[in-house]
Structure 1
Amino acid sequence: MKCFKLEEYTRGWIVGDFMPAIFRTKAIEVGIKSYKKGEKEEKSVHKYTWEITIVISGEIKMYNKILSKNEIILLEPGDVSEFECIEDTSLVIVKYPSNPNDKITIK
Structure 2
Amino acid sequence: MNSANLQDMIGGWFVGAFSPAALKTDSCEVAVKKYKAGDYEAAHYHAIATEVTLIVSGRVRMCGREWGGGDIIVLSPADETDFEALTDVISVVVKVPGALGDKYLVDRVN
**Shorter-chain TM-score tier:** over 0.9
Contact 2:63 2:80 in 1 (8 A): no
* Distance apart, 1:105 and its partner CA: 1.2
> Residue in 2 aligned with 1:79?
79
> Residue in 2 aligned with 1:93?
93
User: Counterpart of 1:27 in structure 2: which amino acid?
Assistant: S
Distance in structure 2 (CA, Å) of the matches to 1:76 and 1:2 = 32
* Distance apart, 1:21 and its partner CA: 0.4
1:50-65 matched pairs, under 5 angstroms? 50-65=50-65
> Residue in 2 aligned with 1:23?
23
Distance in structure 1 (CA, Å) of the matches to 2:27 and 2:3 = 23
Distance in structure 1 (CA, Å) of the matches to 2:53 and 2:106 = 20
* Distance apart, 1:3 and its partner CA: 4.1
* Distance apart, 1:4 and its partner CA: 2.5
TM-score by length of 1: 0.95
Percent sequence identity is 35
Distance in structure 2 (CA, Å) of the matches to 1:22 and 1:72 = 24
1:66-99 CA distances to partner (integer Å, 9 max, x unpaired)?
1000000000000011010010000000001001
Q: Where in structure 1 do 4 or more consecutive aligned residues deviate above 3 Å?
A: none
User: Counterpart of 2:41 in structure 1: which amino acid?
Assistant: E
Q: Say which structure is richer in strand.
A: 1
User: 2:7 aligns to what SS in structure 1?
Assistant: helix
* Distance apart, 1:46 and its partner CA: 0.5
Alignment size in residue pairs: 107
Unaligned runs of 5+ in 1: none
User: Counterpart of 2:73 in structure 1: which amino acid?
Assistant: I
RMSD between superposed Cα atoms in Å: 1.1
TM-score by length of 2: 0.93
